[in-house]
Amino acid sequence: MRYVKDVASVIRSKNAGPYELTFDLMFPDAETYEQVRHSITKAKIADLYKIDESQVLSIIHFAPAHAVKITIVRPRASGDLGETDVYGAQQHAPLLELTY
């Protein structure tokens, strides 16, 4: 078991519109991408963020960028009462615990 953060070149989060939060995991080459991509599952993401699996909308593999994209429902619409991160740019930290 190894940490994804040790082989990924990018781990980031951002709004995808005001109602969704999207995470990008990018890998330096096709080989690493192939090694890691299948171990990223909705169940693991739900567990890391302590959310219901139904809140994980999609996990998409994008070979041209050696990337795996994960999209979840935003806890609230961007800027709504109780907002903590309007741009959604600092919601990625739990992904540093992801293993493969």
When asked if residue 58 is in the footprint of other proteins (CB under 8 A), the reply is: yes
Nearer to other proteins, 1 or 81 (CB): 81
C-alpha–C-alpha distance, residues 1 and 71, integer Å: 24
When asked if residue 90 is in the footprint of other proteins (CB under 8 A), the reply is: yes
When asked if residue 87 is in the footprint of other proteins (CB under 8 A), the reply is: yes
Direct distance between the N- and C-terminal alpha carbons of the chain, in angstroms, rounded to an integer:
6
| Cβ 97 vs Cβ 11: under 8 Å | no
C-alpha–C-alpha distance, residues 3 and 8, integer Å: 9
Under the rule (CB under 8 A), what is the footprint of other proteins?
A: 10, 14-20, 22, 24, 26, 48-51, 57-58, 60, 62, 64-67, 69, 71, 73-75, 77-87, 90-91, 93-94
